[in-house]
Amino acid sequence: MPSISFQMFSTRNWPVEETFAMLSELGIKEVEGFGPLFENPAATRALMDQYGLSMPTAHFGFDLVESDPAKVIDIANTLGAHTVIVPYLMPDDRPTDRAGWQAFAARLAEAGKPIVAAGLTYGWHNHDFEFLPTADGCLPIEEIAAASDDIMFELDLAWIHVAGQDPVDWLNRYKGRVVVAHVKDRAAAGDNADEDGWADLGHGVIDYSRIVPALKETGVTRWVLEHDNPSDQQRFASRSFETVSKF
């Protein structure tokens, strides 16, 4: 049975303690942290302890990882996180050709060296843009992977789907380097416009009957529930946890 976690970015519009209480009541034991939870790591840790939660993985912005790895390591250690994930690159910062992506990937690899030296796992979380070819035929995800074997992956399976690619193909391709997966769902075209087209897990169009066996076969043992813009955190969390429990 994989470990089931919950990406706190999903419920950024609700008070943290309210979300922690809800997750504890549902039986979810792990969360994945992001920026606001790091402003006072000791307070976040105390709140996690109060509700019986752990944070094995956490998302840190690339700017912080590159400029102050010691702070990242300190926050991760305070929260008990053993995996540091860089989650995103703003559109204006994204290279547009192979040379640019190779240069960024080299920076990403270099920035991760202190993280890895501290005994933590270091990885990249994708959106769709890494799977969309540039004008010169570069796939950014490939350049990121090629930069260093120390860069692991948290594959966001729904964003791979949005990019028009098959999540199973990429799970198989990077077998052994996928340490976490985001399991989430996409609504049918035109549906759930108020939630930016996302759906609760099991209530969208992504075929997890193919993906779940691939997750198991490739040894991905931590699955993170996420929804990029739910209108109801209780509905999203409860329905998604019910679905993943059936997997």
pLDDT tens digits for the chain (247 residues)? 799 999 999 999 999 999 999 999 999 999 999 999 999 999 999 999 999 999 999 999 999 999 999 999 999 999 999 999 999 999 999 999 999 999 999 999 999 999 999 999 999 999 999 999 999 999 999 999 999 999 999 999 999 999 999 999 999 999 999 999 999 999 999 999 999 999 999 999 999 999 999 999 999 999 999 999 999 999 999 999 999 999 9
Does the global pTM surpass 0.95? yes
The tokens describing 180, both together, are 């976490």
Beta strands in 51-164 (DSSP E): 54-59, 83-86, 121-125, 151-156
- Assigned CATH topology for domain 3-246: TIM Barrel (3.20.20)
What's the rounded Cα separation, in Å, for the pair 1 and 117?
A: 30
The tokens describing 8, both together, are 């706190």
Provide CB contacts within 8 A for 41, sequence distance 6+.
Answer: 74, 75, 78, 79
Q: Which helix (H) or strand (E) holds 242?
A: helix 233-246
Across-strand partners of 153? Answer: 124, 178
Report domain extents, the chain: 3-246
What's the rounded Cα separation, in Å, for the pair 58 and 76?
A: 7
